[in-house]
């Protein structure tokens, strides 16, 4: 079987165009796939950093709560930790009155009620802190 010259002039450019289009399509697909993979890795890294920050805040929160509940410390010292607790939460979650003893007792009473809410506040704060670090 012989191939005519005219047929080659038609077939060869068609093959070249198909190969070029295939290459462009494949490289575009690979680029998009790489971008998605990078976004996923970035998201996983951000979530990991948020979780690490959250665990750090929880440890600090728990140590403050332990000091507040520990009767071996003076009322004045424990009162300072109630203010620290409000500072770590970023809001005045626990009422601070003029008396040390009443402030501490109200805080201890409210801790059992607000524990889940406190942890949610700390989770949001962890996301905010991590986001601020990532922006820098």
pLDDT tens-digit map of 26-58:
999 999 999 999 999 999 999 999 999 999 999
As a whole number of angstroms, the distance between CA 62 and CA 55 comes to 10
Q: pLDDT tens digit string along 73-125?
A: 898 999 999 999 999 988 888 888 888 888 899 899 988 888 899 999 999 99
- CA distance from start to end of the chain: 70
Q: How many CB atoms lie within 10 A of CB 80?
A: 15
Three-state DSSP class for residue 3: coil
Q: Please name the residue ranges forming H helices in 4-99.
A: 5-69, 75-89
As a whole number of angstroms, the distance between CA 121 and CA 41 comes to 26
What's the whole-model pTM score?
Answer: 0.77
Question: Are 125 and 90 in contact, with CB atoms under 8 Å apart?
Answer: yes
As a whole number of angstroms, the distance between CA 17 and CA 39 comes to 33
Q: For residue 66, what pLDDT is reported?
A: 94
Q: Residue 3 pLDDT more than 90?
A: no
Band (pLDDT 50/70/90 cuts) for residue 18 is: very high
Q: For residue 98, what pLDDT is reported?
A: 80
Band (pLDDT 50/70/90 cuts) for residue 136 is: confident
Nearest Cα neighbor of 63 from 78, 76, 75, 74 is: 78
Token pair recorded at residue 63: 């140590």
Three-state DSSP class for residue 70: coil
Q: For residue 115, what pLDDT is reported?
A: 87
Contacts of 81 (CB under 8 A, 6+ apart): 64, 67, 68
Token pair recorded at residue 92: 């005045």
Q: pLDDT tens digit string along 54-79?
A: 999 999 999 999 999 999 989 899 99
């Amino acid at each position: 079987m012989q191939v005519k010259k005219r047929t080659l002039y038609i077939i060869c450019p068609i093959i070249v165009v198909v190969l070029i289009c295939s290459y462009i399509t494949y490289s575009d697909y690979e680029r998009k796939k790489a971008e998605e993979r990078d976004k996923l890795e970035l998201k996983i890294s951000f979530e990991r950093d948020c979780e690490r920050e959250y665990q750090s805040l929880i440890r600090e929160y728990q140590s403050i709560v332990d000091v507040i509940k520990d009767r071996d410390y003076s009322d004045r010292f424990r009162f300072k930790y109630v203010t620290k607790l409000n500072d770590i939460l970023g809001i005045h979650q626990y009422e601070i009155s003029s008396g040390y003893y009443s402030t501490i007792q109200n805080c201890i009473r409210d801790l059992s009620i607000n524990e889940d809410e406190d942890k949610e506040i700390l989770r949001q704060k962890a996301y905010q802190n991590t986001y601020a670090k990532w922006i820098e």
